[in-house]
Chains A and B, each alone.
Chain A
Amino acid sequence: MAVLDVLDQIKRGYIRDMVKQNKRIDNRAFDEYRKVEVEQGMITSAEGSARARIGKSEVLVGVKIGVGSPFPDRPSEGILMTNAEFLPLASSTFESGPPREDSIELARVVDRGIRSANAVDIASLSLGEDEEGRPKVWITFLDIYVIDHDGNLQDAAGLAAMSAILNTQLPKYEDGQIVREEKTGPLPSKATALSCTFGKIADKIILDPCYAEEVSLDSKLTIATVKDHICACQKSGGGGLSRAELDYCMDLALKKGEELRGKLKA
């Protein structure tokens, strides 16, 4: 632990010095993403799936569809459950065991963007009442699997999640049973929500921090957008963020969000 701390300190100093000289460790511009790739439908046992790669970061998302009882205060709404697993094989810093706060935060921020934008339109996922008159709804399980970690897992997870949602086909529901072999149509989605994550180092803002940059950040900001609108934000990390910096990030997130949406097959 102590050895790692020293290495982190050295790395941190190196990265900070570079950023102060307007350079990045991988020669990118401050507002440039690494190579972004998305593919869909690789998991046939899932109702929808997608894999996103941002640089060397890789995240797989599987969507499973179930049927259950709605929340009592929203009887006509479907349920969306988002969970993230940081697989131990993805990084030496990931351990098996109960979810860490990082993975909980990642899943909750992905969920916030999707929910706010109705990217899964839960309002149209009611199945009416069963024979005993109890309300039934579709449950969408969105499981985020982090396969390889080189920073900015948030955007990779958001991209894979959104792509997996667009890839999802609802199964048939007949006599209170799911018939998984038969599909009835796509999972209803009203918007394509995607996030852009920024890091602040030495009073400079960089887009899409890689792992080495991520451990050097003072603070981090994720902004999820739909066309022309912002649908979720999360600042994390100990440092502060000025209003001018926030303003810059919002502008860039709206612009880069459009570019990312171009990568998705609707």
Chain B
Amino acid sequence: MVGGATTKELMVDGKRLDGRALDELRPVKITASVLNNADGSAYIEWGKNKVIAGVFGPRPCHPKRMMDPYRAIIKSRYRLAPFSTSDHGRAGPNRRSIELSKVIREAFESRVLLEQFPQTMIELTVEVLEADGGTRCASLVAASVALADAGIPMKDLVSAVAVGKINDQIALDLTGVEDNYGDSDIPFALAGRNKELMLFQMDGVLTKEQINQALDMGTKACEKVHQLQVEALKRVYESKKQEVEAKED
């Protein structure tokens, strides 16, 4: 979160500590339909980040007082596993996870066709099993695939990436160390079709021009991530098709 006071060299010979270029994404691997009981699910490995997302619903709304007579509500839960960080984290929600659960939920509220399912709820859970910077973005990307995997109608997929500033330079997809010792972090999410910002947060001190430069860099990466999301979903249908064909033979 905070830069400035404690410093660490984050660039060596023009490369980042993990050898990446400034505009290089970590390896991202997405698998859809990984859980039995959930209506939709996805697992993502994004660098060292490991996140599993599950979706239940639409189903009757509990508690009843949260029910919206006009549309479905989304309940979301983002949690870091106690073993996911270098220091042991307390189990249960904390202020950070409550805020992130909220912004993740809001990133989907205008993408999912909630009006089709009045009085119901869609439960979205993301569990971060290992964290190394950019977990909210990895969570959003996995959640988006899990929602689609659950067959919930959506206007488009949501893709996300974090951009930031390290050693006075704009950089893509910060690791945990880079986020900790860097100067700024901008996690953001784009809707696949109209490219509107569905999530946008920023800390650190930047000029308007630097923010725009960072978002331009991130937009390209988001398009790459979007492609990986689509491919992950396609693979599920291809394997289902093969299953059906095998039965027919």
Interface residues of A (CB under 8 A from B): 1-2, 5, 9, 73-74, 76-77, 101, 104-105, 107-108, 112, 115-118, 122-123, 218-219, 221, 226, 228-243, 246-247, 250-251, 254
Contact = CB atoms under 8 A, between A and B. Distances in A.
Contact of A123 (B4, B95, B211): B4
Contact of B196 (A74, A229, A240): A240
B120 to A, nearest CB: 16
B98 A101 contact: yes
Contacts of A228: 207
Q: Which 7 A-B pairs rank lowest in CB-CB distance, beginning with the nearest?
A: A238-B109, A240-B196, A233-B202, A235-B200, A123-B5, A241-B197, A250-B208
B63 to A, nearest CB: 11
A9 B108 CA distance: 21
Interface stretch (B44-52, B99-107, B145-153): B99-107
Contacts of A73: 6
A1 B200 CA distance: 31
B98 A232 contact: no
Interface of B: 1-2, 4-6, 65, 68-70, 95-96, 98-99, 101-103, 106, 108-110, 184, 186, 191, 194-208, 211-212, 215
Contact of B5 (A107, A122, A240, A251): A122
27 contacts: A2-B69, A5-B70, A76-B5, A77-B6, A104-B95, A105-B102, A108-B95, A112-B203, A118-B4, A123-B4, A230-B202, A231-B203, A231-B204, A231-B205, A233-B211, A234-B200, A234-B202, A235-B197, A235-B200, A236-B102, A238-B106, A238-B110, A240-B110, A240-B198, A242-B195, A243-B197, A243-B212
A118 B6 CA distance: 13
Nearest to B74: A238
Chain B interface main SS type: mixed
A2 B197 CA distance: 31
A116 B204 contact: yes
B99 A101 contact: yes
Contacts of B202: 230, 232-234
Given A101-B101, A218-B110, A241 B207 contact: no
Nearest to A6: B69
Contacts of A77: 5-6
B49 to A, nearest CB: 20
A219 to B, nearest CB: 8
B65 A235 contact: no
Contacts of B98: 101, 104
A116 B199 contact: no
A25 to B, nearest CB: 23
A246 B200 contact: yes
Given A5-B70, A112-B1, 16 more contacts: A115-B1, A116-B184, A116-B203, A116-B204, A123-B4, A229-B205, A229-B207, A230-B202, A234-B103, A238-B110, A240-B194, A240-B197, A241-B200, A242-B196, A246-B197, A250-B211
B39 to A, nearest CB: 21
A115 B203 contact: yes
A167 B168 CA distance: 33
